[in-house]
Chains A and B, each alone.
Chain A
Amino acid sequence: MITIKLNSIVGSFAENKDKAREIRIKKINPALKKGDNVELDFEGVTSATQSFIHALVSQLIRQYGTDVLDNINFKNCNNTLKKIIEIVTDYMQFRE
């Protein structure tokens, strides 16, 4: 299991999609490829945009299927963050 502390990379308001994409490509995806589980630690992040969460996780669902959600743990999410993550994971599972 690898842990990625997001606050130090994206600050308290996670909105920068470029950074989300970079985290996914450079940290999350390599770990998943190796068969590791990933913990995304949102401690200190108070909010995020749907665009940020989409850039962070949607491609993983597309690439690995919905089972990838069993390998990712969203830690220390407040209510707002939980709901935005649920919106993104919801619509990604309804996609074509």
Chain B
Amino acid sequence: MVKIHLPNSAFLGNIDPFLRSFDPSNKNELTITSNNKWVSVHPMVVAIVASLGKGISTEKLKFEAFEARSKHYFERIGLFKFLGINSGISVTEHDPSGRFIPLTRINNSTQLTQFLTEMIPLLHLADNPKQAEPIRYIASELVRNVIEHSQAEDGAIVCAQYYKTSNTIRIGIVDGGVGVRKTITQSHLAQDDFEAIKLALTPGVTGTTRKEGGTELNAGAGLFFIKSIAHVNRDFFLLYSGKAMYKLLKRSLKEEIFLQSDPLKDRHSKEKALPHWNGTAVGIDLCLDNTKEFSVLLDLIRNTYATSVRERRKEKYRKPKFT
């Protein structure tokens, strides 16, 4: 049985205790409890709970009625509906535009295209392409990763929320598929889940081939692009798969920003012994105050990517030995 407790606060900066607090390995039954004063969590947390609960019959899904004043949030973002639970929470229905994207399951390309069309107006960013562009880009690449590589029967579970105080959009994308390590080790050696995540974040490394340049459909650039967007925006990016977690940490506005191909050279934190998550969970924050022109970001990516590939080729280059 999985017991999950929604704490008072769990955002990307302080999410580690939450990730350590439950064991997702036995998903036959799920019990959800919550802080009884106030619960404020990242959309990734909501997506994790939704992923754990999907497919569990309502008899085996127990939840203590939420007491917290913030309980309406979970009703509005669609957690109880997603889990098939009658929460007993009554909310005054109103247009969610400008506030959040409720929990959505995306199984295929057509559903993704539809989601991408709807998400920007829902976040009230239709008139602001500078801010909309990276968000749409991130959602597209992350969900497509799930559809193509995760082998998750239920596809990607996505939700997002705009936070007025910090002027930040937070996105969570979770799947219950095979995880990063199984995908990456189809073509590369990875001793553990963290090593696999490190490879997945390295530009030009894809699970589909060992060759530089990738295959006709995969180049191994998607996650590097997404981490780079968060990095240039000085925001959090978190990837949890298997027992490992990589978290790109926030940076202050004073720090100079330059991209690195090795994710371990970025300011980050890591976990290697979390409860095993079957699949991948990604969380990202984008503060709209810091959004850079997308084309500026692309210049940085181009330079870093090219340098990275050149360095790897140099490492592989061998001179003939003459004695």
When chains A and B are docked, how far (Å) is the Cα of A94 from the Cα of B203?
A: 13
Task: Determine if A51 and B141 form an interchain contact, defined as CB atoms under 8 angstroms apart.
Answer: yes
CA distance A53 to B204 in the complex (A): 15
Q: Are B302 and A59 in contact (CB under 8 A)?
A: no
Tell me the B206-222 residues at the A interface (CB within 8 Å): 211-214, 216-219, 221-222
Cβ-defined partner of A96 (8 Å) among B113, B136, B141, B211 = B211
B contact residues around A88 at 8 Å (CB)? 219
Determine if B136 and A91 form an interchain contact, defined as CB atoms under 8 angstroms apart. no
| 6 A-B pairs in the complex with CB atoms less than 8 angstroms apart | A17-B109, A51-B217, A87-B305, A88-B219, A94-B310, A96-B212
Interface centre among B213, B299, B309 (most CB of A within 10 A): B213
The answer to the question of B144 belonging to the interface, with a C-beta cut-off of 8 Å to chain A, is yes
Q: In the complex the two chains form, is B129's CB within 8 Å of A91's CB?
A: no
Do A94 and B301 touch (CB < 8 A)?
no
Chain B, residues 116-133, CB within 8 Å of chain A (1/0): the string is 110000000000010001
Instruction: Given A62-B213, A91-B306, output 14 extra A-B contacts at Cβ < 8 Å.
Output: A11-B113, A13-B136, A15-B141, A16-B113, A17-B217, A50-B225, A51-B144, A54-B219, A55-B217, A62-B216, A83-B298, A90-B305, A94-B212, A95-B213
Set of chain A residues within 8 Å of B310, measured between Cβ atoms = 94
Is A94 in contact with B214, judged by CB distance below 8 angstroms? no
Majority DSSP secondary structure for residues of A touching B: helix
Residues of chain B contacted by A94 (CB below 8 angstroms)? 212-213, 306, 309-310, 313
Min Cβ gap A25→B in Å is 10
Instruction: Write the nearest CB–CB distance from B204 to chain A, whole angstroms.
Output: 7
B137, CB-defined interface residue at 8 Å: yes
A84 to B309, CA, bound (A): 17
Q: How far is the CA of A51 from the CA of B214 in the complex (A)?
A: 11
Given contact pairs A50-B222, A79-B295, A58 touches B302 in the complex (Cβ within 8 A): no
Interface size class of A (residues with CB under 8 A): 20 to 34
Contact (A51, B309) CB under 8 Å given A15-B140, A95-B212? no
Cβ-closest chain A residue relative to B139: A15
Q: Which of B113, B148, B218, B309 contacts A91 (CB 8 A)?
A: B309
Query: Judging by beta carbons under 8 Å apart, are A80 and B217 in contact?
Result: no
Given A11-B113, A87-B301, are A58 and B295 also a contact pair (CB < 8 Å)?
A: no
Residues of B within 8 A of A43 (CB): none
- Are B140 and A13 within 8 A (Cβ)? yes
A83 surroundings in chain B (CB, below 8 A): 295, 298-299, 302
Least distance between A17 CB and chain B CB atoms (Å): 6
**In the complex, which residues of chain B have a beta carbon less than 8 angstroms from the beta carbon of A3?**
none
Cβ of B294 < 8 Å from any Cβ of A? yes
A46 nearest CB across to chain B (Å)? 7
Question: Shortest beta-carbon distance, A49 to chain B, in Å?
Answer: 6
Decide yes or no whether A36 CB sits under 8 A from chain B: no
Q: Mark A54-96, 1 if CB is under 8 A from B, else 0.
A: 1100110010000000000000000110011011101110111
Report the 7 A-B pairs with minimum CB-CB distance, sorted nearest first.
A95-B213, A83-B298, A59-B216, A95-B212, A15-B140, A94-B309, A79-B295
Measured between beta carbons, the chain A residues less than 8 angstroms from B133 are 47, 80
Q: Are B116 and A13 in contact (CB under 8 A)?
A: yes
Q: Provide the bound-state CA to CA distance between A50 and B141, in Å.
A: 9
